[in-house]
């Protein structure tokens, strides 16, 4: 097939920060080619593309700051830089690139809530978890790695059968590297994430493979100092004085983020070369539509339907109620900042929730009980308590939600309990007469329910901004979080609550922001 000469020319006009040798090393594995060939074909044909990026603070764009206004055009995060490349190749297409990353969050959260964070028509899903996922694991049957595998499987099965790419940042300084010490090559989750990617035939892109030896040699442009220790350069183009890092963790916008975008661009360019050798054909579509193979870890099957029912998706979970009202406590806000929930403020009010507590885990991974997470409002005034009890279908021990704390903040918190698997688990939440609030309040607000597949670590405030992210009109996660934080305590989720998981937890969540 002949593509428009202008698009082909613009495809090769991207200026790489990485050398050709580093690009060749950084394209660690091209994996199965069909899905990326389809992506490159759509780009060169001028068709609109849908891209979603999942990851932590690196994908959010941390480190991509500009010291001077004139530096801003080049000091951008890798997702934005990649979007600029796509728009430059086919500006008429109207590509949609959605950044659903959030600082400090691991792949475990996304493995549960991926259906609500990835655009349903995605053509490409980028997974960047080499920094946030833990490195001190032994074996692939640990819950942290099982969750990442389920995330890969879910992404591969989205309706458009998107290309799924693992992109790994490597922080040389965090790995112990400096101008006189050597960074540990093995200190990254990439070691095991890449094995999972190899099993599923995914493209694997690696900053470690591309530039480790340059960092170790303290080569020009890859020095182990980080950008905030250095004065501003005079050039608005690539300056060899710029280090690859803005701080010990995050890449700098004019170097490290550029290098990450380079790897994505180079992957598309390689796919375009493949199309020049053999045009896209029926064999590519057949390969893209092949069933996802059996799990790498036996029994690690995922549920195709969402187990993460938050905000608007939570309304239908209440099968019956008395005294509860479905209400938006921020009706004038844009969709991403609205605060929906089932709310009651009188003792004796009850809501009967019905949801599926089964998972698709098999064999040794299957459990007699699965964890359920109810998200609820916790605040410092007029808050009440509620009993949570399994009524039919499933069984569980009775527990109590307490919505009061002394902190002058209103945040979403997580109430966790174990329930036996059942397709129609019915759980009754009843507002109690007893109240911990000094003002004797009885307000109870339920905002979501999550049925956990394996281990699940998160903060309620993170789940607030993650809810319903499949919608194109919802802005990037980090923008939502910052806007909510700037507005001060609200009816739900402004920051991290003390009732959530603490730093230093099993997943180290929040320790790598």
Q: What is the DSSP string of 398-434?
A: -EEEE-B-SSS--EEEEEEEEE---TTEEEEEEE-S-
Lowest-confidence pick of 244-253, 418-427, 476-485, 487-496: 487-496
Question: Residue 234 — pLDDT band, cuts 50, 70, 90?
Answer: very low
Q: Bigger pLDDT: 233 or 506?
A: 233
User: Within a 10 A sphere around the Cβ of 432, how many other Cβ atoms?
Assistant: 17
Question: Residue 137 — pLDDT band, cuts 50, 70, 90?
Answer: low
Question: Residue 503 — pLDDT band, cuts 50, 70, 90?
Answer: very low
What was the pLDDT predicted at 179? 60
Kindly tell me if the per-residue pLDDT of 464 is higher than 50.
yes
% of the chain residues with pLDDT over 70? 77
What was the pLDDT predicted at 427? 98
Number of continuous H segments (helices) and E segments (strands) in the chain = 13, 17
Q: Any residues with CB less than 8 A from the CB of 132 and at least 6 apart, and which?
A: 55, 56, 57, 104, 105, 106, 107, 189, 512
What was the pLDDT predicted at 310? 79
What was the pLDDT predicted at 456? 58
% of the chain residues with pLDDT over 90? 50
d(CA 175, CA 511): 15
Domain 5-288: CATH superfamily, name plus number: SGNH hydrolase (3.40.50.1110)
What was the pLDDT predicted at 493? 35
d(CA 308, CA 151): 13
Kindly tell me if the per-residue pLDDT of 271 is higher than 70.
yes
Q: Any residues with CB less than 8 A from the CB of 216 and at least 6 apart, and which?
A: 172, 177, 182, 183
Question: Residue 231 — pLDDT band, cuts 50, 70, 90?
Answer: very low
In whole angstroms, what separates CA 484 from the centre of its chain? 19
What was the pLDDT predicted at 89? 97
Domain boundaries, given as residue ranges, for the chain: 5-288, 308-486
Q: Bigger pLDDT: 222 or 504?
A: 222
Across the chain, what does the average pLDDT equal? 81
What was the pLDDT predicted at 63? 74
Mean pLDDT of 197-202: 97
Give the tens place of pLDDT for each residue, 399-451: 999 999 998 888 888 898 999 999 999 999 999 999 999 999 999 999 989 88
> CA 220 → CA 206, 244, 255, distances in Å?
20, 10, 12
Kindly tell me if the per-residue pLDDT of 246 is higher than 60.
no
C-alpha dihedral, 132 to 133 to 138 to 141, nearest 10°: 170
502: which strand partners? none
Fold held by 308-486:
Jelly Rolls (2.60.120)
Kindly tell me if the per-residue pLDDT of 318 is higher than 90.
yes
Give the pairing of strands 325-328 and 340-344: antiparallel
CB-CB contact of 57 with 512 (8 Å): yes
What was the pLDDT predicted at 500? 27
What is residue 178's DSSP assignment?
A: -
> CA 437 → CA 71, 380, 388, 402, 441, distances in Å?
51, 7, 19, 9, 6
Question: Residue 254 — pLDDT band, cuts 50, 70, 90?
Answer: confident
Question: Residue 511 — pLDDT band, cuts 50, 70, 90?
Answer: very low
354: which strand partners? 426
Look-up of token digits 């996802």: 292
d(CA 241, CA 230): 9
d(CA 278, CA 283): 11
pTM of the model: 0.79
Q: Any residues with CB less than 8 A from the CB of 276 and at least 6 apart, and which?
A: none
Stated as kind and residue range, the H or E segment containing 266 is helix 256-277
Q: Bigger pLDDT: 311 or 480?
A: 311
Question: Residue 176 — pLDDT band, cuts 50, 70, 90?
Answer: low
Kindly tell me if the per-residue pLDDT of 243 is higher than 60.
no
Q: Bigger pLDDT: 325 or 478?
A: 325
Helix (H, G, I), strand (E, B) or coil at 442: coil
């Amino acid at each position: 097939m002949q593509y428009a000469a202008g698009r082909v020319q613009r495809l090769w006009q991207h200026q790489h920060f990485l050398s050709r040798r580093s690009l060749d090393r950084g394209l660690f594995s091209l994996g199965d080619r069909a899905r990326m060939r389809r992506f490159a074909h759509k780009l060169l044909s001028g068709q609109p593309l849908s891209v979603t990026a999942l990851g932590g603070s690196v994908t959010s764009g941390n480190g991509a700051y500009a010291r001077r206004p004139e530096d801003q055009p080049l000091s951008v995060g890798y997702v934005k830089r990649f979007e600029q490349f796509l728009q430059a190749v086919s500006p008429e297409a109207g590509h949609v690139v959605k950044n659903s990353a959030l600082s400090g969050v691991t792949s475990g959260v996304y493995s549960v809530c991926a259906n609500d964070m990835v655009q349903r028509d995605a053509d490409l899903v980028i997974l960047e978890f080499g920094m946030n996922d833990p490195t001190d694991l032994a074996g692939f049957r640990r819950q942290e790695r099982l969750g990442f595998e389920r995330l890969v499987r879910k992404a591969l099965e989205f309706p458009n059968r998107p290309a799924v790419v693992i992109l790994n940042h490597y922080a040389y300084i965090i790995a112990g590297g400096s101008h006189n010490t050597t960074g540990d090559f093995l200190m990254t989750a990439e070691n095991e994430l890449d094995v999972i990617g190899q099993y599923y035939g995914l493209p694997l892109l690696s900053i470690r493979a591309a530039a480790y030896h340059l960092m170790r040699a303290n080569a020009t442009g890859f020095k182990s100092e980080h950008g905030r220790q250095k004065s501003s350069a005079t050039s608005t183009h690539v300056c060899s004085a710029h280090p690859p890092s803005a701080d010990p963790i995050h890449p700098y916008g004019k170097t490290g983020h550029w290098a990450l975008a380079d790897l994505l661009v180079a992957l598309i360019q390689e796919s375009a070369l493949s199309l020049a050798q053999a045009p896209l054909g029926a064999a590519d579509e057949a390969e893209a539509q092949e069933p996802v193979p059996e799990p790498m870890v036996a029994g690690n099957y995922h549920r195709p339907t969402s187990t993460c029912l938050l905000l608007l998706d939570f309304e239908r979970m209440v099968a019956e109620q008395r005294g509860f009202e479905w209400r938006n406590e921020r009706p004038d806000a844009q969709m991403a900042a609205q605060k929906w929930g089932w709310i009651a403020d009188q003792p004796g009010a009850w809501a009967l929730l019905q949801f599926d507590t089964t998972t698709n885990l098999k064999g040794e991974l299957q459990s007699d009980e699965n964890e359920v997470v109810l998200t609820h409002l916790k605040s410092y005034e007029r808050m009440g308590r509620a009993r949570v009890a399994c009524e039919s279908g499933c069984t569980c021990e009775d527990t109590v939600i307490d919505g009061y704390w002394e902190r002058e903040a209103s945040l979403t918190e997580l109430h966790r309990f174990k329930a036996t698997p059942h397709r129609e688990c019915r759980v009754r939440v009843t507002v109690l007469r007893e109240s911990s609030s000094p003002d004797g309040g009885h307000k109870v607000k339920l905002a979501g329910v999550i049925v956990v597949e394996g281990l699940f670590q998160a903060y309620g405030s993170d789940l607030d901004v993650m809810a319903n992210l499949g919608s194109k009109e919802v802005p990037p996660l980090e923008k939502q979080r910052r806007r909510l934080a700037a507005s001060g305590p609200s009816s739900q989720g402004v920051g991290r609550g003390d009732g959530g998981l603490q730093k230093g937890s099993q997943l180290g969540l929040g320790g790598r922001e």
